[in-house]
Amino acid sequence: MSIALDQLTDPPVRAFVAAVNAGDRDAFESTLTPGATMSDDGSDRDFADWAEREIFSSAGHMDVLTQTGDGLGLVANYRNDTWGAMLTAWRFTVDNGKISRFETGQA
């Protein structure tokens, strides 16, 4: 059973998930610090290229199953039109109310 969006305890992470699920590029970008970085399955990726491919042009969607006590770690069923559904882990670094880095990969 997934966790409702309003139950995600970290506000920037909650905004990130909401933006991904809405396919809202502007809202997504507003959750990030300038120069934010990310990795996928342990390899750093070009943030803009990854987001376009994995989220926006492929209808990415997160159903969050668990969150860590600090709200910065999630396990989610992630699905998009390219890869289908997969169990993923997400870890966020937040600085001054914005996400400066996230790491994702198969859980």
Q: How is 21-73 classified by DSSP, letter by letter?
A: HHT-HHHHHHTEEEEEEEEETTEEE-HHHHHIIIIITTT-EEEEEEE-TTS-E
Phi-psi region of 71 (alpha: psi -120 to 50; beta: other; left: phi over 0): left
**Domains of the chain as residue ranges with CATH:** 5-106 (3.10.450.50)
pLDDT tens-place string over residues 48-96: 999 999 999 999 999 999 999 999 999 999 999 999 999 999 999 999 9
> Cα angle at 14 between 93 and 73, to 5 degrees?
45
* Global pTM value: 0.96
Coil vs helix vs strand at 14: helix
